[in-house]
Amino acid sequence: MTHTLLEPSRNTPVWGEYEVVVLGGGPAGMAAAVSVARAGRKTLLVERYGFLGGMGTAAGVTNFCGLHANVHGRIRQVVHGVADDLLRRIDALGGLNQPHALFGKTVAQAYDTAAYKIAADDLLLSAGVELLFHALAAGVVMDDARRVQALLVETKSGRRAVLGRAFIDASGDGDLAAWAGAPWDKGDGQGNMLYPSTMFRLNGVNPERAGKAWEVIPRLMQEAEAEGRYRFPRKTPIVRPQKSGIEWRVNLTQLANREGNAMDGTDARDLSEAEVLGRRQIAEVAGFLREVPGFESCYIVDIAPQVGIRETRRVRGLYQLTEADVLECASFDDTVGVNGWPLELHLKGDVEFRWPKIPESRGFNHLPYRMTVPLGLDNVWVAGRCASMSHEAQSAARVSGACFVMGEAAGVAADLALQGAVAASAVDVPSLQSRLESQGAWLGRAA
């Protein structure tokens, strides 16, 4: 039986009144806030941590996936617009790697997390976005069944209400949209979600001796397990160098609950246990890596501030992106950009990649505007990994490239909706697309 406590009613102070309120400071939230603030809208971005970047900083991902696609055998950058502005700033700080090859089919681009945080601050503030850090979203107040009036947040100043005319949910977990009553799904229908990981970084690596260590580590892992010296939480390792060759990032943990299922990032007990389990696995993995040539003197320099969550709620929208859309490189009339990342399913004990036909296909799918518009709500958009996608499609379009695309589109759409006094579902798509292209975004309509 669940025990409850009746809280006394109270008058909640208003933090401020805004035209657009963005929840979440990851790629989707940053792109949304920048694009709508540049249109002249009074914009607030609410972030639970004291820095921006989302999973890219808070979870230590340290590389952008999905900025590029393998287009008929040629790898090229396909995500532009606000993403380019951020990349330039990170690069100017000396914190951006050149893209590195993955599986011979695509590339990712690593960055230094400190440079990312500084660059993100500059990008948002230069666009005129107001930032509210250390604010945990706690609920919403509705105008009516279809419109949100305020976002409730818990801060060090106490509980506050943020009033807005439009709201963009880039929380990753779909918190705002779910509280507002939008329907949502979680997992594959049988209770299975993508498994989370805890990322960490090593320093003290000898880059000359390490060489292309990522090519030999899988074999060394198999040998260590066969000898009974180690048991790894998953089979497929991601161990790659950062900007300085003495520092490497490691993605080799997998976090399951007591039943062996993926930890649920919206469950406080699961999330707490996942943090402890992740650090325990890191200690074991780091011990193994010290046996790898070049890693003998390495040490853990950083464990990500939080567990890396890949999937929780997916808010149902006017269209749900599907696995077939990704694998068959689908086109949509209401495209707002593209996703060039394959399905990346973090399954029990391993990671499974499923690709479009490469190099025969164009290697990317359109992302339709409709996937950012939640059912039943008029002044709310969802952008990022909580947007409207199937379990399988979300494994692809949850990465940073697609999140930048959805966020920028949601920001422009919010401005157009306010300008025309229309609901999110009634935004004029040709006007949206024209604005996005004028800002440098690439919609994938010619490839």
| C-alpha–C-alpha distance, residues 350 and 324, integer Å | 22
Exposure b/e, 311-337, CB count within 10 A at least 16 = b: bbbbbbbbbbbbbebbbebbbbebbbb
pLDDT in tens, 2-24: 799 999 999 999 999 999 999 99
| C-alpha–C-alpha distance, residues 268 and 312, integer Å | 13
Parallel, antiparallel, or unpaired for β 248-251 and 238-241?
antiparallel
- Among 116, 159, 127, 122, which residue's Cα sits nearest to residue 22? 127
Q: Contact at 8 Å (CB) between 410 and 373?
A: no
| C-alpha–C-alpha distance, residues 94 and 114, integer Å | 10
pLDDT in tens, 185-224: 999 988 789 999 999 999 999 999 999 999 999 999 999 9
Angle, in degrees to the nearest 10, between helices 213-226 and 268-289: 100
- pLDDT at position 447 is 64
pLDDT in tens, 356-411: 999 999 999 999 999 999 999 999 999 999 999 999 999 999 999 999 999 999 99
pLDDT at 303 over 80: yes
Q: What angle do CA 409, 414, 416 make, to 5 degrees?
A: 95
- pLDDT at position 191 is 78
- Residue by residue, DSSP assigns 73-112 as TEEEE---THHHHHHHHHHHTT-BPPPEEETTTEEEEEB-
Judge if the upstream peptide bond of residue 374 is cis by omega within 30 degrees of 0.
no
Q: Which two tokens stand for residue 264?
A: 């649920």
| C-alpha–C-alpha distance, residues 352 and 377, integer Å | 35
